[in-house]
Amino acid sequence: MYDMNLESEYEYEDRIIAGAYADIKEFPSTVYLVVTLIDPTTNNIAQSSCGGTIISDYWVLTACHCVITSDMVFKEAQLRAGSASKDLGGEVRMAYTHIMHERFDPIVAANDIALLKVSSPFPIDGVEIKIANLATEGQIVPIGTQATIVGWGKTTMEGETSPYLQKAQMKVIGCMQESMICTLANKADVVFGSAGKFCENECYKQTTRWAICSWICKMKGDFLNNMPAMESGYKGDSGGPLFVDDVVVGVFSAVSMESLPKLPNLFSRVSFFRDWIRSNSGV
């Protein structure tokens, strides 16, 4: 897991706060990842945990920051499918091949999406191990939609990661809609750039490197009325899916630091990256 130690008000995090235990049969396309990273200069090894989504019998979708840090690169990953436990049961596969988005920008969490290819196929049974339904290219997730995040991340601010799969529901908010983005930009200018640019829908001109339109934002509490968050993703949930009904619409990317606890969770928007996923995996 890569924690940003920069001037950004966002960091990569992995936790479900105020969640509930989930049966793997509810989310059979969800997998648990243990990623091994290596420092190419010193050959030091480190491991991090993330979530992922099965998109074919060989390919898994996850976050780019799960497979690279500022000083370490991907070596291999162990993936456990078909089990709500991160340590027991299910089917374990190794991945030695990964594809990162070529325009991944860790400073602003842009293009935070990656693919892993397992060395032998998952035994898809449609019950405990299933290929996910992905959002189609251009598919819109309306503001106010109830979405579900799942993962094995921390369940309290100071606690340990969960040994069992967790789920939580939150509402989707529109990063580019309403005046809230202007308020967000004023509070976290280093992340969002000029508030004026964003209020002019600069994203849709695709002339900025932030590509905010590639994000789905999920509300943590009531931002405008200064209400704190209850449910949230955090450490251990990175790379995991965001579901609307049975469709994976997002990949968990980043969440605000405690200094700005009301900023939303950020998810890479699957519909925005659908062509990239297809071009690199054939799925």
Judge whether 62 lies within some domain: yes
Count of domains forming the chain: 1
Judge whether 249 lies within some domain: yes
Cβ partners under 8 Å of residue 144, min gap 6: 171, 172, 173
pLDDT per residue over 149-198, tens digit each?
Answer: 899 876 655 567 788 999 988 877 655 443 344 344 443 333 333 333 33
Residue 128 CB neighbours (<10 A): 18
Residue position matching structure tokens 């396309």 = 29
Judge whether 141 lies within some domain: yes
Judge whether 1 lies within some domain: no
Residue 283 CB neighbours (<10 A): 17
CA distance 20 to 35: 25
pLDDT per residue over 72-98, tens digit each?
Answer: 999 999 999 999 999 999 999 999 999
CA distance 173 to 224: 12
Judge whether 5 lies within some domain: no
Q: How many whole angstroms from its chain centre is CA 234?
A: 10
> 199 or 264: whose pLDDT is higher?
264
Judge whether 3 lies within some domain: no
**By CB neighbour count within 10 A (0-12 exposed, 13-18 middle, 19+ buried), where does 184 fall?**
buried
Judge whether 89 lies within some domain: yes
CA distance 187 to 260: 9
**Per-residue confidence (pLDDT) for residue 226, from 0 to 100:** 39
**By CB neighbour count within 10 A (0-12 exposed, 13-18 middle, 19+ buried), where does 92 fall?**
middle
- Phi then psi for residue 168, to 5 deg, are -155, 150
Look up the domain containing 150 and give its range. Answer: 10-281
CATH number of the domain to which 189 belongs:
2.40.10.120
Judge whether 2 lies within some domain: no
